[in-house]
Amino acid sequence: MHTTHPSNTDAVRGLLAALAVVVFWSGFNIVSRFGATASFTPFDIAALRFGVSGAIALPLYLRFVPRRDWPRHMVLAAVGGLGYGILVYIGFSFAPSAHAGVFVNGGIPFWTIVLMAVMTGFRIPRPTVLALLLSTAGLLMIGFESLFAASARAGEWIGDLLFLAAALCWAIFGLLMRRWQVKPQFGILGIATFSALAYLPVYLLWLPGNLAEQSAGAIALQAVYQGVIAALVAGGFYSYAVQKVGASEASMMLALVPAVTAVGAFLILGEALGLTTIVGIVVVSIGALLGALPPGALARLRGAAQRR
């Protein structure tokens, strides 16, 4: 497979975009879990995500995106919009956010690398394998108490499987964005538009909802975070990162999400950080940064050091 190496400027921009996604997704896990454990149904949260983002995107999409691009955007909406969103929201009704941190944010780089290897004959470089192993080990340390707690609910494994399926959907989305070279802004507008058009009629006619009993504040929180920040802003930044540095490198950065979430909970909420969690944060950070380096970067650094 022919691989193009990003320029230094593109690599920096892509990694900064991926870091922004890490911040947005750290909040996404908390907000989604809050909604799922309240009296929102998973279908309510999905409706707010697709309804708000679709209302914003539809007029822009119809004006700026040519019809010849619509079929590809429909496919992207099926995996990166409907598939990912619905699976995650239903998963949150079974399993806590710590599980999502491990299985979604760890699953995306895993599935991305596996799909690249299976579908294109891409031989996985050793630094990428090492980065994936480090990130996985770190994620398991961060989520250790939740994953292996004696008080775990019997149905949590269902949520874990749903999170892994959601990660697969997002990995496919990232690879297709890269392969088709879809402009990030148009791709996100298309995902929001077609997800809303496909989902909202089904939700209104057949799916269980509980929005009428929610407070205006709770609805506003979910609507703004899910419909604007998660669906449009974070999705756009991730698409941009994939275009600039590649799907494998951008996906590895998402392994930082549980680490940022844990540190944020410590600083903002005063939640304690155990030794295992601290070690996990260090390990996953090393793995994510190693995996995010452009192809051949380590070899070039070693060569420069030897020349000195």
Q: Which residue, chain included where needed, has tokens 């230094």?
A: 8
- Per-residue pLDDT at 2 exceeds 50: no
CA distance 57 to 129: 38
- Per-residue pLDDT at 1 exceeds 50: no
Residue extents of the structural domains in the chain: 8-125+152-250
CA proximity to 288, closest of 8, 25, 5, 2: 25
Q: Which residue has the higher pLDDT, 237 or 291?
A: 237
For residue range 90-125, list pLDDT tens digits in order: 998 888 777 888 889 888 998 998 898 887 676 777
CA angle at residue 29 from 166 to 22, to 5 degrees? Answer: 90
CA distance 204 to 114: 37
For residue range 241-267, list pLDDT tens digits in order: 998 888 888 998 888 888 887 787 677
Mean pLDDT of 122-151: 81
Of 22-36, 192-206, 254-268, which has the strongest mean pLDDT? 192-206
Q: 10: exposed, middle or buried (C-beta count within 10 Å: 0-12, 13-18, 19+)? A: middle
- Per-residue pLDDT at 300 exceeds 60: no
pTM of the model: 0.86
